[in-house]
Structure 1
Amino acid sequence: MKGAAVAIASVSPATGEVLKTFDPMPEDRIDAALDRAMGGFDKVRHLSFKERGEWMRALADLLDDERDEIAALMTTEMGKTLAAAKAEVTKCAYACRFYAGRSAGFLADEPADPAAVGAHLAYAHYQPLGPVLAIMPWNFPLWQVMRFAAPALMAGNVGLLKHASNVPQTALRLEDLFKRAGFPEGAFQTLLIGSDAVERVLTDDRVRAATLTGSEAAGRSVAAIAGRALKKTVLELGGSDPFVVMPSADLDRAAQVAATSRCLNNGQSCISAKRFIVHADAYDAFAEAFVGRMSAMTLGDPMASDTDVGPLATEQGRTDVEEQVADAREKGARVLCGGERPDRPGWWYPPTVVAGITPEMRMWSEEVFGPVAGLYKVGSYDEAVAVANDTTFGLGANAWTTDPGEQEQFVADLESGQVFLNGMTTSYPELPFGGVKNSGYGRELSAHGIREFCNLKTVWVA
């Protein structure tokens, strides 16, 4: 993952003020961290699930006890509403307890038929790989990390976190939480490094695998580096999720969920619905309800309890969204609400609905990472599926219909890692999470997620 060194700094998205800066770790400190990771792995891998689970439950308790403080730190660094940040901390605590209680079962030996293979005993056995480099984004600065770390450490691996350069205080707080929960030295460490140092860490023999949530370009870079080094990777690279509405749907409920999904995390969520594909027979009623709900969203101080949408996390992110909307408008699209930045310090952009998107517009093929919805009218089920699948991404998909036959068809026909029917796409520790096509490969969460960074060893006994 090449590129120029990026400043490691907390910058308030609400004001643009630089709050705190950090120097990148020098080479000798990176080497020392990798040595600690190997030492931590030698300890963690030999402990029982019960022992690791006690630390993981202690971590959950710390998250619950310090929820408000941790949430305020996330809001300060990346601008999500305080209510959303508190919910994120609570979700992380739940995931810790989930894996503390279920990992032994997820990684239990899997017996085979010994007679079929000419053995007295035969089974598959899961073992951890070692230190795993986690390259994580800023949009869910706690949850993105924890959904990797909880299963990986419960499996006996250790974590090396290279977090996004605009959330360094959250990254350091995570390392502190793991230490205070009782995990041994080297079990979880934050590396304050820029993207220019990723290749040096990933190719080091002490690092055994990597996981990345981020942009398609970052995923290609990390996959190429890891491929040359023959190291396992899991990639989640974003999405441009369809939200299909058919005539039988509950249109008021669909419009409510559509607005909530599009504005979740200030519009900066990979699995938020982004392209709203509506059958012509339902289009007018849905569009009116949807635009009304988007227009009613409160844009304001992310610390305030009545705020629905805060600022975008970075100035470049706001610029990207503005340019995508401007491109659509210049090529004939209609902006039904929003579309103009407010005149105030910080990186604000209002909830926006753009109709009449056509293939030559950037919004047709690009992910829009802000509270901007593309609205599409289609004339049939087949056209809806064609538009939904006309994207290089395949992370999540959402369809609204009460017709059982259509529901079955959508599950079969939508090209995505997840399909949610008549409800908002989200992630749960109980369900596998990941995508297809350019949204990446591998799975996080559930039993599938904890097995990604394990060696599945065949055991045959005469």
Structure 2
Amino acid sequence: MKTLQNLIGGIWEDSLGDTLLDVVNPATENAVARAPGGCRDDVDRAVAAAVQAQPAWAALPLAERVARISAWADVVAEHADELAELECREMGKPVGIGRTFIDGAVAGLKASAGQALSYAFEETVAHDDDGGSTRILRHPLGATAVITPWNFPVTMVLGALGPLLAAGNTVVVKPSERSPLSAVRLFELLNLPPGVVNLVLGDARAGGPLAEHEQIQLVHFTGSVEAGRKVGAGTGERLHRAVLELGGKDPVVVDAGVDPRATAAAVAFGAFINTGQICTSMERIYVHEDVADAFVEALVEAAGTYTMGDGHDEGVMMGPLVDERQRDIVRRHVSDAVERGATIRAGGVEPAGRGFFYPATVLTGVDESMLVMNEETFGPLAPVVVVPSFAAGLEWASRSRFGLAATVYTDDPDHMAAAARIPAGVVWINQWQGGGPERLYEPAGDSGMGATGAVAAYDAATRPASVHIAARLAS
């Protein structure tokens, strides 16, 4: 069985730690590789390589940096099928769905890196009373870190790297210990100078030292709230930056007047795609009473079309959950809801046999006392609450400690305007996951901190300095 290695300064090498972890295919429960558990020495070596490579990388002309990033993206695109197959093997995502997301991530990498060409790395902001002038220069931070989750191993790495690299920083990447296969292959395809991007494998034994490292100037972390708090504490101790995208409990509000069948199909996709293992999955559904019966009927029907199975098999819509721990959470949320009076309208019964599968499940009769309406599920559950008005749906959608994203379906222009009041980083109206590369946002509440996307990503990746040039020597 293959043992995975770290990429440090352009060289693949074994971990200096003494622990190996099994990488398990969640569809078969068989180990498919071994990965290092990680250690501080691995991190120190990777950070040192990033620090050493950074000045030369930053000294390259901006257009050349962007061109080299874009050229790497082109290589990744040529291997998208292979990367999607590896994601399926390590975390269960159906290959076709994985390919779609990877294609989007490649396009996103090229777009985000290209935004550097119009970003104001240098601008004159004032001509002062003394006849002098003031310029603002935005310098790269230096060595940075990207720590990614298991649910989108390739997409999340590519999504973070564009602005960091284009701005002149170097990076140490630590993927989740549950899904390192695709990350290793992604960086086997790397054609940037040695040390510009480094890869360290492992669990918290690598992630903790990386987040707290004194030479890491920014940590871009995507993961759980609990882990995010630790990352934020570590960077805060060093007075370094953190961009944290954490958990979500994203609401959906379905207004009267919409097409209930079309809306139910859209909600099913937002709740069940990737087996519900997306930070912005639809996890709380508030439906106006005027369309509730037709909507629920159509949602139950749609849930039945999300076939489970090994993601390598054609026609499979949902792969397994990533592991037994994740399935336990889903199981617990359903059991708690049923014990408190909810009704299972679709799914809810685990299939026999191997693999961490759970079916697309629709719950009605849920209320705010239930775990499924308060804690992040990260699984294929669609809990539905019937509300008496659009205003009530907005109010209940806004009652959460999370604030990552929200989706609203309405044909009423006034209701569209009111939807913007939901306290979330992103509000989608009539199209889940809508928007282009210019989108920027900052999560609210326990969903994270630090603005990202478009110009905000470059603001986070650079340090502003003002340079004032006087017209004459002051007397």
Query: TM-score with structure 2 length normalisation?
Result: 0.92
What secondary structure is seen at the aligned counterpart in 1 of 2:354? coil
What secondary structure is seen at the aligned counterpart in 1 of 2:463? strand
Q: Is the 8 A contact 2:43 2:206 kept in 1?
A: no
Q: Is the 8 A contact 1:147 1:444 kept in 2?
A: no
Structure 1 residue 445: Cα displacement: 2.4
What secondary structure is seen at the aligned counterpart in 1 of 2:290? helix
Amino acid of the residue matched to residue 270 of structure 2? S
Q: Is the 8 A contact 2:27 2:320 kept in 1?
A: yes
Name stretches of at least 5 consecutive residues in structure 2 with no aligned partner: 1-17, 471-475
Amino acid of the residue matched to residue 110 of structure 2? R
Using the aligned pairs only, state the percent identity: 31
**Number of the residue aligned with 1:158:** 170
What secondary structure is seen at the aligned counterpart in 2 of 1:142? helix
Of residues 9-18 and 24-33 in structure 1, the stretch that sits farther from structure 2 once superposed is 24-33
Q: Is the 8 A contact 2:27 2:354 kept in 1?
A: yes
Q: Is the 8 A contact 2:115 2:454 kept in 1?
A: no
CA displacement 1:30-84 (0-9 Å, x = unmatched):
3222211111111111111111112111111111211111111111111111111
**Number of the residue aligned with 1:291:** 300
Structure 1 residue 436: Cα displacement: 0.7
**Number of the residue aligned with 1:441:** 449
**Number of the residue aligned with 1:175:** 187
CA displacement 1:282-328 (0-9 Å, x = unmatched):
11111111111112211122112311111111110011101110110
Number of matched pairs: 453
- Mapped to 2, the partners of 1:7 and 1:137 lie a distance apart of 19
What secondary structure is seen at the aligned counterpart in 1 of 2:34? strand
What secondary structure is seen at the aligned counterpart in 2 of 1:36? helix
Structure 1 residue 433: Cα displacement: 4.3
Amino acid of the residue matched to residue 450 of structure 1? Y
What secondary structure is seen at the aligned counterpart in 2 of 1:113? strand
Of residues 284-293 and 94-103 in structure 1, the stretch that sits farther from structure 2 once superposed is 94-103
Of residues 243-252 and 370-379 in structure 1, the stretch that sits farther from structure 2 once superposed is 243-252
**Number of the residue aligned with 1:77:** 90
CA displacement 1:160-196 (0-9 Å, x = unmatched):
1111001122222232222xx2x11111111113203
What secondary structure is seen at the aligned counterpart in 1 of 2:395? helix
Of 108, 121, 126, the match for 1:113: 126
Of 271, 274, 278, the match for 1:265: 274
**Number of the residue aligned with 2:287:** 278
**Number of the residue aligned with 2:377:** 368
Of 411, 427, 430, the match for 1:422: 430
Of 245, 251, 259, the match for 2:254: 245
**Counterparts in 2 of 1:17-416, with a 5 A limit?**
17-115=30-128, 118=130, 120-178=132-190, 181=191, 183-411=192-420, 413-416=421-424
RMSD, matched Cα: 1.7
The answer to which structure has the higher helix fraction is 1
Q: Is 1:451–2:459 an aligned residue pair?
A: yes
Structure 1 residue 28: Cα displacement: 3.9
- Mapped to 1, the partners of 2:27 and 2:215 lie a distance apart of 40
The alpha-carbon distance between structure 1 residues 230 and 274, as it changes in their structure 2 partners (threshold 3 A), is same
Structure 1 residue 424: Cα displacement: 1.3
The alpha-carbon distance between structure 1 residues 445 and 25, as it changes in their structure 2 partners (threshold 3 A), is same
- Mapped to 2, the partners of 1:84 and 1:162 lie a distance apart of 24
CA displacement 1:208-267 (0-9 Å, x = unmatched):
111110001011111111111111000000211111001122222211110111112111
Of residues 193-202 and 120-129 in structure 1, the stretch that sits farther from structure 2 once superposed is 193-202
Q: Is the 8 A contact 1:6 1:195 kept in 2?
A: no
The alpha-carbon distance between structure 1 residues 328 and 457, as it changes in their structure 2 partners (threshold 3 A), is same
Amino acid of the residue matched to residue 419 of structure 1? V
What secondary structure is seen at the aligned counterpart in 1 of 2:248? coil
Amino acid of the residue matched to residue 276 of structure 1? I
Amino acid of the residue matched to residue 268 of structure 1? Q
Query: TM-score with structure 1 length normalisation?
Result: 0.94
Structure 1 residue 104: Cα displacement: 2.1
Amino acid of the residue matched to residue 309 of structure 1? M
Q: Is the 8 A contact 2:138 2:465 kept in 1?
A: yes
Name stretches of at least 5 consecutive residues in structure 1 with no aligned partner: none
What secondary structure is seen at the aligned counterpart in 2 of 1:456? strand
- Mapped to 2, the partners of 1:171 and 1:135 lie a distance apart of 12
Structure 1 residue 396: Cα displacement: 0.6
- Mapped to 1, the partners of 2:355 and 2:37 lie a distance apart of 26
- Mapped to 2, the partners of 1:219 and 1:202 lie a distance apart of 10
Structure 1 residue 434: Cα displacement: 3.9
Of 16, 30, 38, the match for 2:29: 16
